[in-house]
Amino acid sequence: MASVEQRVPAETNGGDSTAGIGVENPATGELVRTVPSLAASDVKEMVARARAAQPGWDALGFEARGRVFRRAQKWMLDNADRVIAVVCSETGKTVEDAQLTDLGYTVPALGFWAKQGPKYLTDERVPSWSTPTAFAKKLVVRYAPVGVVGVVGPWNFPIVNSFGDCIPALMAGNAVVLKPSEVTPLSSLLMEEMLAQCGIPEGVFQVATGDGVTGAALIGEVDCLMFTGSTATGRKVAREAAEALIPCYLELGGKDPMIVCADADIERAANAAAFYSMNNAGQTCISVERAYVEAPVYDEFVARVTESIRVLRQGGPDGGPGTVDVGAVIFPPQIDIVEDHVRDAVEKGAKVLSGGRVRPGAGRFYEPTVLVDVDHSMKCMTEETFGPTIPIMKVPDVEEALKLANDSPYGLQASVWTGDLERGEALARRIEAGVVCVNDAQLNYFALNLPMGGWKGSGIGTRHGANGIRKYCKMQSLLVTRIAPKRELFMFPYAAGRTRLLRRALGLLYGRGSRP
């Protein structure tokens, strides 16, 4: 297998779509490499190769597949600097952001699915005693791989949210074709090279570089689709998957609220607000995107958050670890969205306490920004910003915070901060989101046995946990009859006596319920 450097020609062509897609370093503006933009016919061929390779991969069994992932775990650690360098080259994120997520998530995930995958996919015996017609029969549920899984990913975490979802799909015995974001395809090509070196059979894992057209072509060819990206594209993907009649799982956008109660540890809540709104330059689907703070602690919270954010160092990762805190804006149109949300807020009366503008100079950076005096007439409180901003709103009480938190088309994640854990959990259960953290944020993503998925416009389905691998399987139910009469009571020919007997049996079994 050729290396990323060999496979992707280094010549520059200005991103001409007929020749390929130019991958730009957002921290410097330089063109890093060019990758091919695959047509529908290329995708069709790739899926055919995947389909031919899949039965052999499945037949290898869990242990042999797990060995490939354990080797990959070691490979990633041995090549950690290279992995981080490739991620940083196409994202302009800090070394720490790449290490904590793209490396810090993926290395444990390879081991997790190698170990837990077989357990989650073991045949399940279902009790038959409660069903009279199935009494004494053997009932079994088994999980068979769907065949070829298509994975389409975004640009913000080019390994976690693209390759990360391929691991359980592969572990289940499927072949996978991954279509990474056209903005950040190099990390996925590196993962392809890694698995080839770790012994994955040819054709089992392939990367199809290209844009939305390539992604759309994949939907018509595969047996199941895992999509991570924006809600707008997710709707299109769902329509295309419905037409192809394949299962499709959608991990989409969010507008995660943070609710800070008056009894919270304000110092910890403020540190967390600064970190979880600004890590990865705010380009995390589960970023803290808006904060609601009870009036008695509002001033202290705002002062602490602003103090933390004002001193953040911003820039590219070239200086190495510990030199910068906040990296680049990865996707060119994203800077317009961030600018638009801040401008809209200021025009409607918000105050900027820190940042509030594009950083002058080379590269694509937006200054870490704190907004106050905000409300729900502003885009920064209702639409996904996906940038280094934190709007903070004062609320009279927690009930108002809950009402505002739920006033959103999204329902990805949320967090509640309080000294009273029981109350925190009770409040969490009232928030319309797939995940709610109490006195924390984002860390649930690393708990690979805890399901993660959005409600409302934030998605359909979950990743992680048992369903994180079962979703890539066809569920098959087996009923096995061991001992049985020559003819069941309900079989032909019908006879009035047996009909009465069966009616009486129904009454005896279920007749104790209360009358309507």
The residue from 76, 86, 146, 152 that contacts ligand NAD (CB under 6 A) is: 152
Which H or E run contains 213? helix 212-219
Which H or E run contains 342? helix 332-347
The residue from 84, 270, 384, 424 that contacts ligand NAD (CB under 6 A) is: 384
Q: What is d(CA 174, CA 320) in angstroms, rounded to the nearest whole number?
A: 38
Piece of the chain touching ligand NAD by CB under 6 A; list 91-99, 177-185, 190-198, 337-345: 177-185
Q: What is d(CA 448, CA 203) in angstroms, rounded to the nearest whole number?
A: 27
Interface size with ligand NAD, residues (CB under 6 A): 30
Within residues 394-413, the interface with ligand NAD by CB under 6 A covers 412
Piece of the chain touching ligand NAD by CB under 6 A; list 27-35, 133-141, 247-255, 364-372: 247-255
Residue 42 as a binder of ligand NAD (CB under 6 A): the answer is no
CB 382 within 8 A of CB 376: yes
Site string for ligand NAD, 253-282 (x = CB under 6 A): xx----------------------------
- The verdict on whether 166 is a catalytic residue reads no
For residues 40 and 346, which CB has a smaller minimum distance to ligand NAD in the complex?
A: 40
Catalytic residue, candidates 224, 285, 380, 473? 285
For residue 81, give the amino acid letter: D
Residue 156 as a binder of ligand NAD (CB under 6 A): the answer is yes
- The verdict on whether 347 is a catalytic residue reads no
Residue 211 as a binder of ligand NAD (CB under 6 A): the answer is yes
For residue 367, give the amino acid letter: E
Within 10 Å of residue 171's Cβ, how many Cβ atoms? 26
Residue 96 as a binder of ligand NAD (CB under 6 A): the answer is no
Residue 454 as a binder of ligand NAD (CB under 6 A): the answer is yes
Residue 151 as a binder of ligand NAD (CB under 6 A): the answer is no
Beta bridge partners of 366: 358
For residues 424 and 454, which CB has a smaller minimum distance to ligand NAD in the complex?
A: 454
Residue 467 as a binder of ligand NAD (CB under 6 A): the answer is no
CB 141 within 8 A of CB 226: no
Which H or E run contains 250? strand 248-251
Pairing between β-strand 224-228 and β-strand 205-207 as defined by DSSP bridges:
unpaired
CB 258 within 8 A of CB 288: yes
User: With 0-12 CB in 10 A as exposed, 13-18 as middle and 19+ as buried, what is 93?
Assistant: buried
Residues that bind ligand NAD (CB under 6 A): 152-156, 161, 179, 181-182, 211-212, 215-216, 228-230, 233, 236-237, 251-254, 285, 331, 384, 386, 412, 454, 459
Q: Catalytic residues, which ones?
A: 251, 285
